[in-house]
Structures are given as structure tokens and as C-alpha cells.
């Protein structure tokens, strides 16, 4: 790891470069952060934009094992951060599932994983944010002090208040291995109840629990997976080649992974979405290099498909019904989780569904989850045939209405269909607009509704 002085010198140069890039963007063009990869799923055609260069803002500045903190640049991927922290026996509080999610993206958007039942969302481990604001300033925001309003509003602002340049986060100690236990249920109410009990006690079968998530395969088959750190393992499984992690959940009740393989267990097959590309077929899989079995490769293929309409053309040629892209993550209180699964099975019918419990320690302005209340994130990603006479957005609107009827919230990384007034009520426009006016008075950046719903 380079010494902090040298890293900060390089960081200062990179900050100056992005400030100059921002200042050079025409006033009538909305800045768009230039990124090598993206994990967003908004494919609507934007209005006039200009790329904002973030060159050289993708490094780990320092890992401090004494204070158990890391200082990173905003475009640093979690893959690179984990590679920097694990040699010290440390990991971020929450490591989102996909390798190319960036620290800045997870903080200004939302990230989640199986430590979220105890550690909340990625922004809850942030101690300090250096931000390029909409009016071109570079400010340092903390939970207390001059820019505390920006610090609280930054999560779920999706780059509409500014861009994270440098982030200091807290880290957790880890052990070399994770022991997994997959608990099967045939009843959603019992599944949610058990998940709730495990998350509250942080114990299962007398052993401490460090990770909790779940997988729904159907109304009669779902699993809660608990993970516990271990110094030793009798064996370790490898799901980066021919074997597929989510399929193993149904075939074994106990498993062992190295900590690194556990953190990236979902990335190799993009949960289960790689099946759309045929790479879960043994023959195809044997021909694909391991280095290409990863989420960012699949995401690029989806982008090409959206651009050229390849799947739609094939469906028309085969006479298949028009399909709607249903790619969402939603949070529902755990006590309403079985209701959501019942709705989703009847109205949408897509499986599998990922289930990840989370609990926020405090309230954050733009994503008002009730502090101390356990929610379950339901993640589902795929295509669903539209009923005759229905149009694109049919399923996504049904899901939006159901989520908010159940006192939940929906992440904004994908398509949304809210009316403006409803959107600002759900995502706390009363808190957003004073911060927007303070740090982007000229509205150089899109506002949250225009970016996340209108897709401008």
C-alpha cells in the first residue's frame, strides 16, 4: 500500500482535473460521470449530456489497520477495495454483491448485502465524504459540522447533489473462512419469522451469526442462509468455474467458502441472471474463460441488447409475447415480507428472488427507513411476458404500488414510474430541495426525479 502522503498528492491532482472538467462542460448540458462500468438499469434516452472525466479517481488511498478504516477515491470498485483490505484481515462493513460497484456509487445510491441486518447500508459506515458539488465547490462533509446537511442527504441522491471524490469508511475484522448453513422452508410466514429471530438474536443453533440472506425459489421452497466466520474449514467450495452457487443452496445444507469467495459468491453468475446468456449450460460454460464469468461482462451484454433490440427481434420472429424488463430491489418490513412474496408470486411469478434483511441505525433524509426496524430487501431481475393488451411498465407499476402499500421503499437504480408529487412525498422532497438549493443553486445537475424517473 503506497504511503498516504504520496496517495493524497495524486488525489489532489485528480480532484483538480475533475474540477476543470466540470467547469468546461457547457451550461446547457447535464454532466454525466464517465465510468468504465455501470450497475444502473435505466435505459431511457437522455437529453443533452456531457461526459465528466473522473480519470485517476479509482484508487485506494490508505488502509489503516490500527483505526480499522480505509480512505478511498469515489470511483474505486469494491473488488479493488476488498483486495486491499483482506490482507489486513479486514473488510468494509457492507460489501455489495457485484465486483464493479464503486464506493461512490454505493454511497450516493444504495448497496446491500448479508451483513446489512447488523451493519445497515454502505453509507452508514462512512465517516467523511469529499464531494464535488453542483456549484463546482469541493467540500468535506461529516455527520457533524458545516456540511452535515449534505452528508445526511447524499445517500440515495444518485449524483444529483454532487460526486463523491474521497470517502473514509470503517472496516470490520474478518476470519479466513465462512461456514454456511442453508435452512429450507415451505412456508413464507415461517421463513420470515425465522429470519427475523436470527437477525434479532444474531445467533443460530448456539453459534454467532455474521451474515444472513435468503433465496426464494417458489411458494413451497425458500431458504434462509446464515454465515459464520471461522478460522478453519474442512474443505472449501469453488463457484467460480463449473459449479454454480445458487444451485448449491438447494443441494446442500452446509458449505464452506473462503472469505473472498463468499463476498463474491453472487458475482460469477450475476446471482442467476447468467442463465439468459446460456453460460449455465455445462458445455457452454466449459468453453467460457473464467475471467469472463462475472457481472460486468453480462451487464455489457445487456446494454448491447438494449441498444440494438436483439431479444425483442428474436421474440417477434418466434411469435413470443412482448416482454417487460423487471429489474428491481425493494425493501419491505419483515412482518410484511410473506405478503409481498404472495403478491409477487401471483402477479409477477419470476423466480428466484433474493431476500436480504437490513436494519438502519439512524434515519437518512432521502431513503426514510424506520431506524431499528428490520426490513427485507427483495431483489428480482429478469424479463416477464406482458399480458395481452398491457404495455411496458405494467409489472413495474404493480410492484411500486404493492411495495408502498406494504410500508416499504424501492431503490432507484432501475426504471421508475412515479408521478412527480408522489415521488417527492415518498423520497422526502422537503429534505431534498433545501440541500439542492444550497449546493446546486443553478441546477447544473439534474434533480432526483428527472434523473431517476424521467430518465433525462
Residue range 58-84, pLDDT digits in tens: 999 999 999 999 999 999 999 999 999
Contact between 107 and 116 under an 8 Å Cβ cutoff? The reply is no
Which range among 2-6, 135-139, 183-187, 416-420 shows the weakest confidence by mean pLDDT?
A: 2-6
Q: Pull the grid cell for residue 148.
A: 452535515
Instruction: Enumerate the H helices of 269-349 as residue ranges.
Output: 282-287, 295-308, 310-318, 337-347
Q: pLDDT class for 315, splitting at 50, 70, 90?
A: low
Nearby residues of 117 by Cβ (< 8 Å), 6 or more positions away:
199, 212, 357, 358, 359, 374
C-alpha closest to that of 445 among 101, 64, 119, 137: 137
Task: Extract the C-alpha cell encoding 230.
Answer: 471461522
Contacts 24+ apart (CB under 8 A), 347-352: 347/395, 347/398, 347/402, 348/380, 348/384, 348/395, 348/398, 348/399, 349/384, 350/326, 350/380, 350/382, 350/384, 351/216, 351/217, 351/218, 352/215, 352/216, 352/217, 352/246, 352/271, 352/272
CA–CA separation, 353 vs 350, rounded Å? Answer: 7
Helical segments of 145-258, H only? 148-153, 188-201, 245-251
Pairing type for strands 203-204 and 177-185 reads unpaired
C-alpha angle with apex 191: 190 to 193, nearest 5 degrees?
60
Give buried/exposed letters for 139-164 (b at 16+ CB in 10 A, else e): bbbeeeeebeebbbbbbbbbbbbbbb
**pLDDT band, residue 312 (cuts 50/70/90):** low
Contact 156, 53 (CB under 8 A): no
Instruction: Please report the pLDDT score of residue 92 as a whole number.
Output: 98
**pLDDT given at position 363:** 87
User: pLDDT grade, residue 36 (50/70/90)?
Assistant: low
| CB 352 within 8 Å of CB 272 | yes
Could you give the domains of the chain? Answer: 4-174+436-452 (3.30.465.10), 177-265 (no CATH), 309-417 (3.30.70)
For residue 405, whether the previous peptide bond is cis, meaning omega lies within 30 degrees of 0, is: no
For residue 341, the Cα-to-chain-centroid distance in whole angstroms is 21
Looking at every residue in the chain, the average pLDDT score rounds to 92
Reported as a pLDDT band with limits 50, 70 and 90, residue 144 is very high
Assigned C-alpha cell, 79: 473488488
Picking from 58, 390, 87, 341, the residue whose alpha carbon sits closest to that of residue 215 is 341
**Residue 354 CB coordination number (10 Å):** 21
Per-residue confidence band for 45, with pLDDT thresholds at 50, 70 and 90: low
Q: Over 70: is that where the pLDDT of 42 sits? A: no
The cell for 425 is 412525498
Count CB atoms within 10 A of the CB of residue 307: 9
182 pLDDT higher than 90: yes
Percentage of the chain exceeding pLDDT 90: 78
Does the structure show a pLDDT above 70 at 39? no
Dump pLDDT digits (tens) for 338-391.
Answer: 999 999 999 999 999 999 999 998 889 998 899 999 999 999 999 999 998 899
pLDDT at 6: 82
Measured CA to CA, the distance from residue 330 to residue 213 in angstroms comes to 14
For the cut 70, the answer to whether the pLDDT of residue 314 exceeds it is no
Question: Given this model, what pLDDT does residue 373 score?
Answer: 97
With helix as H, strand as E and coil as C, how does 7-24 read? HHHHHHHHHHHHHHHHHH
Identify the pLDDT of residue 50.
73
Beta strands per DSSP E along 266-419: 323-333, 353-359, 374-385, 409-410
- All cell numbers assigned to 376: 427485507
Nine-digit cell string for 97: 454483491
Amino acid at each position: 500500500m503506497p504511503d498516504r502522503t504520496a496517495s493524497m498528492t495524486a488525489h489532489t491532482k485528480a480532484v483538480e482535473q475533475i474540477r476543470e472538467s466540470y467547469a468546461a462542460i457547457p451550461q446547457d448540458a447535464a454532466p454525466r460521470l464517465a465510468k468504465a462500468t455501470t450497475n444502473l438499469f435505466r435505459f431511457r434516452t437522455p437529453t443533452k449530456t456531457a461526459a465528466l472525466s473522473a480519470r485517476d479517481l479509482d484508487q485506494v488511498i490508505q488502509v489503516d489497520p490500527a483505526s480499522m478504516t480505509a480512505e478511498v477515491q469515489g470511483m474505486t470498485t469494491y473488488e479493488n477495495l476488498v483486495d486491499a483490505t483482506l490482507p489486513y484481515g479486514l473488510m468494509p462493513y457492507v460489501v455489495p454483491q457485484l465486483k464493479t460497484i464503486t464506493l461512490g456509487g454505493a454511497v450516493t445510491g444504495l448497496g446491500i448485502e448479508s451483513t446489512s441486518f447488523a451493519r445497515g447500508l454502505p453509507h452508514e459506515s462512512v465517516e467523511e465524504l469529499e464531494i464535488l458539488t453542483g456549484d463546482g465547490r469541493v467540500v468535506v462533509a461529516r455527520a457533524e459540522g458545516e456540511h452535515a446537511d449534505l452528508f445526511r442527504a447524499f445517500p440515495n441522491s444518485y449524483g444529483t447533489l454532487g460526486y463523491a471524490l474521497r470517502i473514509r469508511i470503517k472496516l470490520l475484522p474478518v476470519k479466513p473462512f465462512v461456514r454456511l448453513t442453508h435452512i429450507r422452508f415451505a412456508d413464507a410466514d415461517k421463513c420470515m419469522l425465522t429470519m427475523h429471530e436470527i437477525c434479532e438474536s444474531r445467533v443460530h443453533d448456539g453459534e454467532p451469526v455474521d451474515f444472513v440472506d435468503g433465496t426464494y425459489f417458489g411458494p413451497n421452497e425458500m431458504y434462509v442462509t446464515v454465515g459464520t466466520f471461522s478460522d478453519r474449514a474442512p474443505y472449501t467450495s469453488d463457484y467460480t468455474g463449473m459449479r454454480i452457487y445458487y444451485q448449491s443452496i438447494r443441494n446442500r445444507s452446509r458449505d464452506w467458502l473462503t472469505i473472498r469467495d463468499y463476498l463474491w459468491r453472487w458475482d460469477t453468475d450475476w446471482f442467476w441472471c447468467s442463465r439468459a446468456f446460456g453460460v449455465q449450460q455445462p458445455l457452454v460454460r466449459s468453453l467460457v474463460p473464467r475471467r469472463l464469468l462475472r457481472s460486468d461482462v453480462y451487464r455489457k451484454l445487456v446494454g448491447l441488447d438494449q441498444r440494438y433490440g436483439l431479444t425483442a427481434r428474436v421474440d417477434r420472429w418466434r411469435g413470443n409475447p412482448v416482454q417487460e424488463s423487471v429489474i428491481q430491489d425493494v425493501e419491505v418490513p419483515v412482518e410484511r415480507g410473506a405478503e409481498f412474496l404472495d403478491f409477487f408470486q401471483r402477479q409477477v411469478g419470476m423466480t428466484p428472488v433474493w431476500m436480504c434483511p437490513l436494519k438502519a441505525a439512524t434515519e437518512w433524509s432521502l431513503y426514510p427507513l424506520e431506524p431499528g426496524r428490520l426490513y427485507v430487501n427483495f431483489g428480482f431481475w429478469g424479463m416477464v411476458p406482458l399480458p395481452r393488451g398491457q404495455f411496458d411498465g405494467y409489472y413495474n407499476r404493480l410492484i411500486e404500488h404493492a411495495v408502498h402499500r406494504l410500508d416499504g421503499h424501492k431503490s432507484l437504480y432501475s426504471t421508475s414510474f412515479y408521478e412527480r408529487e408522489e415521488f417527492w412525498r415518498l423520497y422526502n422532497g422537503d429534505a431534498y430541495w433545501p440541500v439542492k438549493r444550497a449546493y446546486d443553486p443553478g441546477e447544473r445537475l439534474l434533480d432526483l426525479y428527472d434523473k431517476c424517473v424521467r430518465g433525462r
